[in-house]
Amino acid sequence: MTVQPSTATAAAAAAEAEGPPLRLGTRRSALATAQSGMIAEAVTRATGRRVELVEITTYGDTSREQLAQIGGTGVFVSALRDALLGGDIDFAVHSLKDLPTAAPEDLALAAVPPREDPRDALIARDGLSLDELAAKCVDAPARIGTGSPRRTAQLNAWAAEVGARIETVPIRGNVDTRIGYVHSGELDAVVLAAAGLSRLGRLGEATEILDSALMLPAPGQGALAIECRADRPDLVAQLAVLDDVPTRAAVAAERALLAALEAGCSAPVGALAQMQHGTAGAAGAESADELLLRALVGTVDGSSVVQLSVTGAFGPAVASEQAAAALGRELAARMLAAGAAGLMGERAL
C-alpha cells in the first residue's frame, strides 16, 4: 500500500476551521480524485472542516489483469480500508459499486450522497448510437470494448434479440485509455458509466446514454460511499449531513440482492432501484411512494437471462433502508428460484 498526501482542494485551503485537516483517502486515478475532491469540498462547506486528499494505490490500480480474474470484489477498496483502520486517513470515498456487500464491523458507512445518473454510456465512432453502429457494421461485427461481464452479457443478449452482429472485447484502463481505443480505430465503441464521464466533465463525448431497459447498471453504480471508523461517532455524525435517504435506500436494495445472490461485483448481475412517487387520486388523496427494484442475471454470452422486478412501500413511516434491503432479498429469492444461480460465472462463497 502506498500512501501519499496531495495538495488540499481550493475549498479546503480556504477554510478557516482550526485544528488539523480531515484526511480523505482516495485512489489515485483521475476519476477517483475528481469525485473525492467533490466530496472534500462538500464536507468543508457542510462542516467548516478543512480536508486534505491522501492518495492511496490499490491492488486493482496496479494489476493489469481483468477484474474477473483477480476477484473483482474489493480490489479497489481493501487498501483504503487498511489505511482507515491503521489511522493513516480519517475517512475514505469509494465508488459504491466497488464495495463488498459484507462491511467490516469496525467501519461505518457514514453517508451515501445523492446519486449521479446510474446508467451506462456508449462512446462510438462517428457519433453513432448502438442501433446505428450495428446497422453500419454489416461486413464485420461491431467491436465493442468493456471490462464488465454484466455489460458483455446484456450487449450479447441485445444483439441476439435484434439480430445484430457484435463482438465484445475485454478492456481495462482509465477513461482516456478506453476512449482512445475508439479514436484510434481499434474498437468501434466502448461502454462506460455515465456517472464517471459526468464527474470528469466528459459526458458530452457519449454518443448514447443506454436505456436501463436495454442495460441494467451494476448494483450501486453512480453512487459514492463515504466510510470512516465506527469508533469515531463525532466524525460519523459530521459526515452524515451528506447522506441522501432515497439514494441510500435504493443502493441498499441493490446490494442486498447482490449479497443474497452470493455474487461478486464482477459477476454478470445488473440491478437498479428507483423511486416511484405517489400520485393524487380522484378524491385528492395521494398514493404512497414505492421503490421499484429491477434485476438481471445472465450468462456472459447472452444466451440465458433471468430478469425480474419487485416493488415495495417507501416513505416516512417505513424504515427505508431496512425495508429496501428486505425487498432486495425478496427479489433475489425469486431469481434464484427461476434459475439465476446457474447463470453466474462468479459466486462469492
On the CB side of 34, how many CA atoms lie within 13 Å of its CA? 12
**Whether 320 contacts 314, CB under 8 Å:** yes
Cα within 13 Å of Cα(32), Cβ side:
25
Cα–Cα distance, 45 to 341 (Å, whole number): 46
As a whole number of angstroms, the distance between CA 178 and CA 30 comes to 13
Residues making up the chain, counted from first to last: 349
DSSP letter (8 states) at residue 286: B
Provide the 8-state DSSP code for 48. Answer: -
* Contact in structure between 165 and 137 (CB atoms under 8 Å): yes
Least Cα distance to 216 among 160, 258, 278 occurs for 258
**CA 147, CA 60: separation in Å to the nearest integer?**
13
Q: What is the DSSP letter of 187?
A: -
Closest to 273 (Cα-Cα) out of 323, 225, 227: 323
* Residue 139 appears among annotated catalytic residues: no
What are φ and ψ of residue 86, in 5° steps? Answer: -85, -5
CB within 8 Å of 84: residues ≥ 6 apart? 25, 90, 91, 92, 107, 227, 228, 229
Rounded-to-10 torsion of CA 137, 139, 145, 149? 100
Task: Decide: 188 and 123 in contact? Cβ < 8 Å.
Answer: no
CA dihedral 95, 100, 103, 106 (to 10 degrees): -70
Please name the residue that has the C-alpha cell 453517508.
Answer: 111
Catalytic residue among 98, 117, 243, 301: 98
Active site residues: 98
